[in-house]
Chain A
Amino acid sequence: MIETKNLSRRFGDLTAVDSVSFTVGDGEVFGFLGPNGAGKTTTVRMLCCLISKTSGEARIGDYDIGRSEDALKIRRLIGLIPENVGLYEGLTAYDNLDFYGKLYDRTESQRKESITSLLKMLELWEKKDVPVATFSKGMKQKLAIALALVHDPQILFMDEPTANLDPEAAKTVRDFILDLKKQKKTIFLNTHNLDEAQRICDRIAILNTTLRAIGTPEELERSVRGRVTVIQLEQSNAAVLDAVKKLGLGDASAEGNKLTISLADPEKDNATILDAVFRAGGRIQSVNVVGSTLEDAYLKLVREKEKV
């Protein structure tokens, strides 16, 4: 549904996005993670045909973002929730939605139906005739999402949809995104909220001008290093550490009564390790498997110089 190949954008001497390639499938929630200035918004703007690419290719559905005659067709296919909510503060919630519905050539009955349904779903129906200027940040963000959905697009681009929201409002927005996921909408989510990306996204790409990694949250966690098995012993025992090291399954170290072994696949190797510990005379108090987090992966990958 969304496909880019060596997509790049330069502003004068500054390269904002450098040779980025990825695909996003139908109904997928795709997270685009990166620090400020990583090129996330520039990528979204290119994909929404708001700014041109410098080089490379990108397709939205059957359309090419580089062809000017495809731009209007692409914009009809997508919904954009920009970083700034972009509401007309002097107009009511209903008028804001109706305005965008008309620009997407929805009939009056289609507009009425979708506006009613969206406002009710986002718990804004009671406020439909109130000027948006009086809304809280959370309400404005919910309305911003509704604006992007008024023409029932199949693809949604969301640029930091929960930024600057309080935890409760952020949760409401996240829950709504999860509802959209159930409706099989394709969602391209720009964020630097790792927890949000992990909870919502099927796959995540990490960007810092170049694409650093792409995969499921679990794959990214594992890509940094394997997980760690931590064995708490009753007493420290050098023979136990030697026995584990001899297995050669992963880096092992001891600190006091705690034995730590880095493993690619703890579920497979733990039984062998525990057997070796037992045979070396170790008395086990507890065993824990600790994984590297998405944050570990993110921090390592955004700091790397080389691209994928």
Chain B
Amino acid sequence: MNLRHSWVIALKDIKIFIRKRTVLYTLVLLPLLLSVIFPVVIEYGGRSSGGITGPEIPGLLHSFEWFFVIIPAIIPAPMASYSIVGEKLEKSLERLLATPTTDGEILLGKSIATFIPAIIATYAGATIFMALIDSVTYGKLGYYYYPNWDMGIILLLAPLALLLSIELNIITSSRVSDVRSASQLGSLMFLPFIGIYLASELGVITLDSSTLLILAGVIAILDVVMFRVSTSIFQREQILTKWK
């Protein structure tokens, strides 16, 4: 595999995404919004009953942190689903496939193009979240809650969840023939992560450090498997001859 080819394809896609403002806004909006909303909840939540107390804060923050795994599973949908369908819509796919690039190089390039802006947006959101939380909780806790190990593991899980979501979106994108269907199906990729969140809230599982590390391992394995699946089901012949 020629990684340079993948990088060239990724840079080209990022250039196109930058010009598509709506795609970019979708990417940035959710992490930024949540990074502000959660500190606001901590600061102003339960004011009528005396506000959130110091001992309640760690449990609450622990729930919020998981959203930084859910966010990267949600936000790549518009970009990743556009990746193959978009090439087909611009009628540029035939020419791209006629170049000396392999299916793996093309798909890796598409993944990188979505990964870089999405992870930047997620980490930027997480950084703002941690800074704001520390500023609003220091008075009640008497120490800076962040950074800590749990959030470190969450920030390790985020790119793995992002990769999984991108691969699943690209698989969807290469199997359907219009951006809307691809995007709608792609936006469902966060459901397993919502499921984990609900399971933890209901006490079915505990999202402690060891569980998070196990999850990170499982998702990392799924990432590799899904990349292999995406390259094996990428049927250039079917895309060229059956898509209209």
Q: Interface size class for chain A?
A: 20 to 34
What distance in Å separates the Cβ of B24 from its nearest Cβ neighbour in chain A?
A: 12
Contact A86 B12 (CB under 8 A): no
Q: A86–B95 contact, CB under 8 A? A: yes
Residue of B nearest to A78 (CB): B98
Once A50-B236, A82-B95 are accepted as A-B contacts, the answer to whether A76 and B90 lie under 8 Å apart by CB is no
Q: Given contacts A51-B237, A84-B94, A85-B91, is CB(A91)–CB(B100) below 8 Å?
A: no
Map CB proximity to A onto B177-203 as digits: 1 under 8 Å, 0 otherwise. Answer: 000000000000000000000000000
Identify the stretch in B14-22, B45-53, B159-167 within 8 Å (CB) of chain A at 4 or more residues.
B14-22
The verdict on A100 contacting chain B, using a C-beta distance below 8 Å, is yes
Cβ of A76: which chain B residues have Cβ within 8 Å of it? 100
A51 to B93, CA, bound (A): 13
8 Å CB contact of B8 from A50, A75, A90, A102 = A102
Residue B92 at the chain A interface, CB threshold 8 Å: yes
In the complex, the answer to whether B20 meets A45 with C-beta atoms within 8 Å is no
Q: Is A204 an interface residue (CB 8 A)?
A: no
How many angstroms between the C-alpha atoms of A72 and B95 in the bound complex? 14
Q: A51-B237, A90-B19 are in contact. Are A103 and B94 (CB under 8 A)?
A: no
B91 and A50: CB pair below 8 A? no
Say whether A103 contacts B237, CB under 8 Å: no
Nearest CB in chain B to that of A144: its residue = B95
Q: CB of A89 within 8 A of chain B?
A: yes
Given that A72-B102, A75-B98 are known contacts, is A91 also in contact with B16, CB under 8 Å in the complex?
Answer: yes
Over the window 82-118 of chain B, the binary record of Cβ atoms lying under 8 Å from chain A Cβ atoms (1 yes, 0 no) is 0000000011111111111110000000000000000
Given contacts A51-B240, A91-B12, A147-B95, contact A103 B101 (CB under 8 A): yes
Residues in B with CB closer than 8 Å to A89 are 90
The 6 closest A-B pairs by CB, nearest first: A84-B91, A86-B95, A86-B92, A80-B98, A103-B99, A102-B8
Bound CA span A82–B97, Å:
11
Known contacts A86-B94, A102-B5; 16 additional CB pairs below 8 A are A50-B236, A51-B241, A72-B100, A82-B98, A86-B96, A88-B16, A88-B92, A90-B16, A95-B12, A99-B8, A99-B12, A102-B8, A103-B8, A103-B9, A104-B99, A104-B100
Report chain A residues within 8 Å CB of B101: 103
Chain B CB within 8 A of A228 CB: no
A50-B237, A51-B241, A52-B237 given; A91·B15 CB < 8 A? yes
A48 at the interface (CB under 8 A from B): yes
* Cα-based distance from A91 to B16 in the complex (angstroms): 7
A87 contacts B by Cβ under 8 Å = yes
Q: Which residue of A lies closest to B20 (CB)?
A: A90
Asked if A103 and B15 make an inter-chain contact with CB atoms under 8 angstroms apart, the answer reads: no
Cα distance A90–B12 in the bound complex, in angstroms: 10
Complex CA–CA separation, A210 to B146 (angstroms): 72
Contact of B93 among A45, A80, A86, A100 (CB under 8 A): A86
Q: Which residues of A contact B90 (CB under 8 A)?
A: 86-89
Known: A51-B240, A51-B241. A88 touches B12 (CB 8 A): yes
Residues of B within 8 A of A102 (CB): 4-5, 8
Instruction: Provide a sorted-by-A list of 27 A–B residue pairs whose CB atoms are within 8 angstroms.
Output: A51-B237, A72-B100, A73-B100, A75-B98, A80-B95, A80-B98, A84-B91, A84-B94, A86-B90, A86-B94, A87-B90, A87-B92, A88-B16, A88-B90, A89-B90, A90-B16, A90-B19, A99-B8, A99-B12, A102-B4, A102-B5, A103-B8, A103-B100, A104-B99, A104-B100, A105-B100, A131-B19
Contact with B along A134-168 (1 / 0, CB 8 A): 00000000000001000000000000000000000
Q: Is A95 touching B99 in the complex (CB atoms < 8 A)?
A: no
- Assess whether B240 is in contact with A103, with CB atoms less than 8 Å apart: no
| Residues in B neighbouring A78, C-beta threshold 8 A | 98
A residues in contact with B19, CB < 8 Å: 90, 131
- How far apart are A229's CB and chain B's nearest CB, in angstroms? 49
User: Do B98 and A48 touch across chains, with their CB atoms under 8 A apart?
Assistant: yes
- Are B8 and A86 in touch, CB under 8 angstroms? no
How distant is the Cα of A139 from the Cα of B90 in the complex, in angstroms?
A: 16
Minimum CB distance partner of A73 in chain B = B100
- Bound-state CA distance A73–B9 (Å) is 20
Minimum C-beta distance from A266 to chain B (A) = 46
